[in-house]
Structures are given as C-alpha cells and as structure tokens.
Amino acid sequence: MENLKEEIKIQGELVRKLKTEKADKAKISEEVAKLLELKASLPDEGQKKFVLKTPKGTRDFNPYQMSIREGAFTKIIAAFKRHGAETIDTPVFELKETLTGKYGEDSKLIYDLADQGGELLSLRYDLTVPFARYLAMNKINNIKRYHIAKVYRRDNPAMTRGRYREFYQCDFDIAGQFDPMIPDAECVKIVAEILESLELGDYVVKVNDRKILDGMFAACGVPEDKFRSICSAVDKLDKTFWSDVRAEMIDEKGLDPVAADKIGKYVELKGGLDLVDKLLQDENLMKESSAKQGLEDMKLLLKYCELFGVLDKVSFDLSLARGLDYYTGVIYEAVLLGFSHTPGSESEETIGVGSVAGGGRYDKLVGMFDPKNKVVPCVGVSIGIERIFSILEARAMASEKKGRTTSTEVYVISAQKNMLEHRLQLCKELWDSDIKTEQSYKKNPKMLDQFQACENNGIPLAVIIGDSEIKNNVVKLRIIETRAEREVPRSEMIEEIRKELANL
C-alpha cells in the first residue's frame, strides 16, 4: 500500500511537471492515464468499517424498553401533577461558571465542552443548579416545578446497576418562603407515592439534616474547613465499609483519628422519633446550635410524615450525608430493600442498584446567582429513574406476558381482494374519531397475515370488511383474544368499537 501511494505521488508530480512545461498533449494524456490506473488500483476507502457501538456509559432503547420507560414516566408525572407542580425546561448545557463550585468533589465529573463562540460551556450535571440559575435570572420567588430531562456525568459507569454517563433525572422542587418542614415532608410523601405506584417492592426513605451533621462534626472535633470533605467521605458509607471511610478521613483528609472514631459511633445510629429524643439529651451535641436546630426540624419532619401516612417507610439515619455541597438542611434518600447490596460483595454489580431517589433542602443556592445574594429557600427531590428502569426491564424480561410497544386499538382487515380503498376510508373514519388504528400496507394482503399482525402486536379489536359487508352496509367486529365476531351497522361502528374497548 505504501509503495503504491509513493508511485502515485511520483506519477502525480510528473504529470504536473509536464503540464507546467506545456509538453506534448499526447505525452500528457499518456502519463495521466497511467496516474488514473494507479489510483484505480487503490482499495476503495469508501468501504471504511465503522465500530458499531454506543459511546461508553450510554445505550439505545428498543420499542419494548421505551414502552416500559413511558409507563414509568406517566406514573411519575401523575404524582408530580397531583401535588400541583408545573413544568419548565432549561438548556442541556450551561456556562461553565454556573456549574463550577456547586458539587464538591463530584465537580470532576462535569463534562466541559470545547470553546464555542467565546463561551466556556459544560453539559449540565443535574437539574437543580440550572433550576436555581433559572429562578435567580427570572427573579422568581415562589414556584412548585417538575423537570424531566437528560443530564451528563463523566463517571466510570456501572451499567448493570443503572449507572450511566447520559441519563434522565425526574426532579420535583418547591421554592419559596414557607413554614418549616411542610414542603420537606411533602417531598418525602411524593417519593413514597411514586415508589408505591411503580410496585418496586419494599423500600425505606432515609432522612437526615446537614445541620445535624455539621453539629455532629463540630462536637467530634472536626475543623470547620473540613466539614464538606468529611461529609463527602461519610456519603460513601452506603457503598463501602466504615473502615474504608475512616481510612479516607485520616489518610486523605488529614482528620485526627480520635475525631474519626467519635464520628463512627454516631453514624451507626438510625431510628425514628426515639432517636431524635435520645440525641436531644446528648450534652456534646446540644453545645452545638446547628445540631439542636437540626434535631428540632427532624422532630417536626417525622411528625408531618406520620400525618401523611409514610412514617413507617422513613428512617432517621445519621450515616446519610449526600456529598453535594449545596445542601443546607434536611436531606433524604430512598433505597429499595429488595435490591440493596452489601458494600464490596461480589453481588454488588448484579443486583445492587443503590438509592432510587434523593434530595434535600438547598436554601443558599439561588443566592449564589443573585447579584444581591437574595435568598430563595428551596427543597426538592430527584427520582433515580435509570436505576428504576433497570429493575422494571429485568422484571419485564422475566415475565411470560409479552408487553405491547404500540397503543393500536383497531386493525382494519379486508376479507377479499380489491378492498384497499374501502380500508382507507375506514381508517380515515376511525382516525377522525381518535381511535388508534392500523392496517396492512399491502394492496391485497392475505387474511391470515392480517390476523397474525393483530396477535403479534397485541391489538385487541379488528374491523373486517368484504363484499357482503359493503352490500349490507355493515362491518364485522372481532375480538382478537376470544375470536368472537358480530356484525354492526356502519353508522354505529364508532360507538360499538368504543363500547368494546371500554369492556376490554
């Protein structure tokens, strides 16, 4: 190949030289022919072989998978709307400075984009920071909103556990100045409603408070400038062992081993109102005003959760930290008990999906974007939809019942040849009446093939037309599952189809 390319290069230079010297045309034509012959012997580089794969941490979704996803989205949106939320949308990328410094140690996972028109941009890491920017930019002080969109993280993906580089988030947030813990408890209630509606099995919503954590760190002797980094270390307790977290605190974060051991005794505590009361008697904690305020808030939150009927699903857990820097108060995380895993175990990659929802209060984030540092208190929750999808898909694949990928209600079938025009008229009539309808795209399809199409696609009803039906101004309605047929007058067709669909 290299020799051939060298010959082509030499021959090309010869042709250019002859043309420059205005040599004999016959000579030039002869050398050009040789050049073309050499080029023709090159392999066709247009047949380049592509690596047919999606980028790391991303995936395609087939129609069956999309039908599962759409079903889940419908239930989630219904819960958001039931609680009075309206929706917004924001760009998939933001100014880099908008995202910088909001995520703590996770900032290294932000995707930066190449300079475009003088702006340094990054793909959005979540939907919360863009929401805060939206509030500050539009001077909005009060809104209840949901937002479902893709976000991007330059993570090392574990796709068997629903972890991706590109994935959907489903966020619900309440912004505004309200009395303590009322909107916070509603967010916990919404998580419970969504997990119940998706029928994912038993779950627990862990709750904690950043003020309690900060007070605990102070009481244990953690310097204030290490609060956030120690918080990030504690956040890993659901993924690894305490011994690993302790080692990180001491070896990487430079924390005194005595302080680390004190933290270890607190983070193993979990319970309910009884634990709140116990901690309110802890003299060391009560010296820290933030811990006292956080525990009073927690007591109120658990009381409201009881009134909402979800207290049995809530656990006050001092190991819950959530590493993002912008949280200022209550934090929570929902975990499916049937799919939890032992940190570091061999089964981690196969059945563990980690948390499926998380969120908390972030009262200072909007102020970071406001020129006057105006505070707009916010609390919200994000549903880990990709992890939920991985469970729903696995369950669907294991089920014997075949799921539908279309919503088609009626299939128009011709009983004889030359019925295409009559089928088209029937389809038009059904579509105009908002009935989801399909037919064969063949002019004269076989009747058996048409029935097979109904069964393959789970279409419940067929409308059959033939010469006798046209003559008598009727159509045959057939229930595909039972194969029961009856004639109905053409004028009553729409009404009878709707009755059958309602019954089915």
User: What residue numbers does the annotated binding site for L-histidine cover?
Assistant: 126-128, 153, 169, 173, 322, 326-327
Other Cβ atoms closer than 10 A to 112: 14
Q: In what order do the strands lie in the sheet with 485-489?
A: 437-439, 410-414, 461-465, 474-479, 485-489
Task: Give the β-pairing of 330-336 and 121-123.
Answer: unpaired
- In the annotated binding site, the residues are 126-128, 153, 169, 173, 322, 326-327
Amino acid at 416: Q
Other Cβ atoms closer than 10 A to 36: 13
Distance between first and last Cα of the chain: 68
Q: 35: burial class by Cβ within 10 Å (0-12, 13-18, 19+)?
A: middle
Separation in Å, CA 265 to CA 20, 276, 279, 292, 425: 88, 15, 12, 18, 75
DSSP 491: G
Cβ-Cβ contacts under 8 Å for 304 (sequence gap 6 or more):
181, 182, 184, 185
What span, in angstroms and rounded, lies between the C-alpha atoms of 80 and 194? Answer: 9
Separation in Å, CA 136 to CA 61, 104, 114, 328: 36, 21, 26, 18
What span, in angstroms and rounded, lies between the C-alpha atoms of 375 and 363? Answer: 7
Q: 119: burial class by Cβ within 10 Å (0-12, 13-18, 19+)?
A: exposed
Provide the β-strand partners of residue 36: none
What span, in angstroms and rounded, lies between the C-alpha atoms of 361 and 477? Answer: 57
Other Cβ atoms closer than 10 A to 247: 14
The string of DSSP codes covering 88-129 is: ----SEEEHHHHTTSSGGGGGG--BPPPBTTB-EEE-S-SHH
What is the maximum alpha-carbon separation in the chain?
A: 107
Cβ pair 306, 350 in contact under 8 A: no
Task: Give the β-pairing of 410-414 and 461-465.
Answer: parallel
- Alpha carbons within 13 A on the beta-carbon side of 259: 18
